C-alpha cells in the first residue's frame, strides 16, 4: 500500500471512530476557552475543568479578570501548576483584551499571539473552536506522538508537525483532526501502553506493523 493511500485510510478511520469530536475544555465563549487553554499548559484538561468553574464564577469577564489581584488568581489556579506565571498571563491577557480589543477576544492569529501566555497552539484552539476558523492544526503531545506513529511526520518540533498535517489534512478538517487524534491517544493509543490489540487502526499503523 502506498504511503499516501495508507495516510488517507488512517484519516478516514479516525473520522469513523470519532465522527463528532469536541473540545475537551469546558467553556462558554471565546474568553473562557482562551483562559482555559492558557491554564492547560503542562496540565490535564480534567484538572483545568475543575479549576475554571470557580475562576469564572468570580471573574466572568475580561473586565473583572483585568482588575483581579494576582494573589486571588494564583489561589484559584494553583492546582494547574506554574500558577504564578499563569496568573500573570491571565491578568495581562485580560487587561490587553480590555485596553486593546474593546473587551472582545481577538479573532486573528496575529492579535492572539500578542497576548501573554498565548502561542500558536493556544491561538489555534481558540480560532478553531470559538470562531470556527481553520487557520492551523493544534499540535499537543498526543497529536505529535500519534503523527509520528502514523507516519504523518518525522518531526518532533510542533511547528514542523503542524505544517506536515496541514499538507495532509483538508483545511476544513484542521480543527477536528486534532480532537480525533487526542481522543484516540487518550482512549487507545496511550503513551505508556498502546492498546494495539483492540485498535481499529492497527492494520494501518506502521508502528504497530513493525
What is the set of active-site residues?
A: 121, 140
- Buried b / exposed e along 162-189 (16+ C-beta atoms within 10 A): bbbbbebbeeebbbbbbbbbbbbbeebb
Cβ atoms of residues 74 and 83 within 8 Å: yes
Q: Report the half-sphere exposure of 175 (CA within 13 A, side-chain side).
A: 20
Angle at 88 between CA 85 and CA 90, to 5 degrees: 110
Gap between the Cα atoms of 113 and 155, Å rounded: 23
Cβ atoms of residues 117 and 89 within 8 Å: yes
Amino acid at each position: 500500500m502506498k504511503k499516501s493511500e495508507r495516510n488517507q485510510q488512517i484519516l478516514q478511520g479516525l473520522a469513523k471512530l470519532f465522527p463528532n469530536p469536541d473540545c475537551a475544555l469546558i467553556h462558554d465563549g471565546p474568553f473562557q476557552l482562551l483562559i482555559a487553554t492558557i491554564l492547560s499548559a503542562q496540565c490535564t484538561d480534567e484538572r483545568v475543568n475543575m479549576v475554571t468553574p470557580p475562576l469564572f464564577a468570580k471573574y466572568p469577564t475580561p473586565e473583572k479578570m483585568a482588575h483581579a489581584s494576582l494573589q486571588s488568581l494564583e489561589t484559584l489556579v494553583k492546582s494547574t501548576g506554574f500558577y504564578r506565571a499563569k496568573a500573570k498571563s491571565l491578568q495581562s491577557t485580560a487587561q490587553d483584551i480590555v485596553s486593546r480589543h474593546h473587551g472582545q477576544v481577538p479573532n486573528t492569529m496575529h492579535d492572539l499571539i500578542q497576548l501573554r501566555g498565548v502561542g500558536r497552539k493556544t491561538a489555534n484552539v481558540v480560532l478553531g473552536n470559538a470562531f470556527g476558523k481553520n487557520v492551523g492544526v493544534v499540535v499537543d503531545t498526543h497529536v505529535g506522538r500519534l503523527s509520528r506513529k502514523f507516519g504523518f511526520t518525522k518531526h518532533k518540533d510542533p511547528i514542523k508537525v503542524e505544517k506536515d498535517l496541514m499538507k495532509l489534512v483538508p483545511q476544513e478538517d484542521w480543527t477536528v483532526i486534532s480532537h480525533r487524534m487526542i481522543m484516540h491517544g487518550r482512549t487507545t493509543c496511550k503513551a505508556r501502553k498502546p492498546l494495539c490489540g483492540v485498535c481499529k487502526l492497527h492494520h494501518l499503523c506502521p508502528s504497530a506493523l513493525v
